[in-house]
């Protein structure tokens, strides 16, 4: 074999090796935390086919929960990130994670080792913003009282607060819990690990109301319309966002997709699908 042929073979082998390594620029199938964010011709971010790992609790209807008919995870967060990834070239992977794990990260403990973004109807607060980066708000919410369908002892939050015999249920480690403390004090609160358990306790008569986001409350009313209802005026208002590791370039990529979805009406369409009566 001539020296020229050997040289051609060597060059071919090197080109194949470089293509396989990808120079660190391509992350098809790999986690999005390892990809260098590019830009598509339409100006949207390009995540190059990477896997966007989205943490969900699967216990917060209608944001994310398990469909009892199929056994699959569904909800507003699922549909949002399916759409987000279709716009910024990524593959969504939903990682079931406890609310406690997300709270720990928002309190400065732990990290984003098993997921890239947290989605669970998370309230944007200054305290949490010290340890994570929030997406742009994707929904505005109010804190309300969820009560049994036949409740007639009170209608408004101040009427509920005025009766020391009444107990309120909510989820530990949430802003809902903080609002409940402001409303009635800690002695009248029954805390639960998940909102589904709190709502079931309400239906069973173990508590007299549940402090919950109005959008999630609507989801539980839709699921248990013969058992629960939302009553009175809002107790407090807030904005919800997704959480990222501080400084993550994925935040701007997802924000760009959310802005695009707001502009063309897709975000409103998904909201109406999950929250309209």
Report the pLDDT averaged over residues 49-53.
Answer: 97
Kindly write down the DSSP assignment for every residue of 227-263, as one continuous string. TEEEEEEEEEEEEEEEEE-TT-THHHHHHHHHHHHHH
Angle at 104 between CA 237 and CA 167, to 5 degrees: 50
d(CA 13, CA 32): 29
Portion of the chain with pLDDT greater than 90, in percent:
77
Residue from 153, 140, 135 nearest 84 by CA: 135
Report the pLDDT averaged over residues 22-42.
Answer: 79
pLDDT given for residue 19 in this prediction: 38
pLDDT given for residue 3 in this prediction: 43
Phi-psi region of 170 (alpha: psi -120 to 50; beta: other; left: phi over 0): beta
- Residue 223: φ, ψ to 5°: -85, -25
pLDDT given for residue 17 in this prediction: 37
- Residue-wise pLDDT for 161-191, tens only, equals 999 999 999 999 899 999 999 999 999 999 9
> Mean of the per-residue pLDDT values for the chain?
89
Q: Please indicate whether residue 117 or residue 25 has the higher confidence score (pLDDT).
A: 117
Query: Band of the pLDDT at 73, cuts 50, 70, 90?
Result: very high
Residue 250 to residues 28, 54, 231, 253, Cα–Cα distance (Å): 16, 12, 39, 5
Report the pLDDT averaged over residues 223-243.
Answer: 93
- Residue-wise pLDDT for 118-142, tens only, equals 999 999 999 999 999 999 999 988 9
> Which has the minimum average pLDDT: 9-13, 61-65, 81-85, 93-97?
9-13
Q: What is the pTM of this model?
A: 0.74
pLDDT given for residue 10 in this prediction: 36
> Which domains, and CATH codes, for the chain?
25-139+240-275 (3.40.190.10), 141-238 (3.40.190.10)
């Amino acid at each position: 074999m001539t020296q020229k042929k050997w040289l051609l073979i060597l060059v071919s082998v090197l080109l194949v090796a470089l293509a396989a390594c990808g120079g660190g620029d391509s992350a098809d199938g790999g986690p999005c935390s390892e990809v260098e964010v590019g830009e598509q011709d339409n100006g949207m971010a390009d995540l190059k086919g990477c896997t966007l790992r989205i943490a969900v609790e699967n216990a917060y209807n209608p944001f994310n929960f398990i469909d009892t008919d199929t056994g699959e995870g569904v909800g507003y967060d699922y549909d949002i990130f399916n759409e987000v990834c279709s716009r910024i070239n990524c593959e969504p992977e939903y990682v079931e994670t406890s609310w406690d794990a997300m709270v720990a990260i928002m309190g400065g403990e732990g990290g984003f080792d098993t997921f890239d973004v947290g989605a669970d109807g998370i309230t944007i607060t200054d305290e949490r913003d010290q340890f994570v980066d929030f997406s742009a708000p994707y929904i505005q919410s109010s804190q309300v009282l969820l009560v049994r369908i036949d409740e007639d002892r009170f209608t408004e939050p101040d009427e509920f607060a005025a009766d020391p015999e009444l107990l309120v249920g909510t989820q530990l480690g949430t802003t809902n819990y903080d609002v409940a403390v402001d409303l009635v004090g800690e002695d009248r609160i029954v805390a639960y690990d998940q909102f589904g358990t709190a709502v079931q306790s309400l239906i069973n008569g173990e508590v007299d109301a549940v402090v919950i986001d109005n959008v999630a409350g609507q989801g539980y009313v839709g699921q248990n319309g013969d058992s629960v209802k939302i009553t009175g005026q809002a107790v407090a208002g807030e904005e919800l966002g997704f959480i990222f590791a501080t400084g993550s370039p994925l935040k701007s990529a997802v924000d760009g997709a959310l802005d695009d979805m707001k502009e063309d009406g897709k975000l409103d369409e998904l909201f109406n699908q999950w929250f309209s009566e």
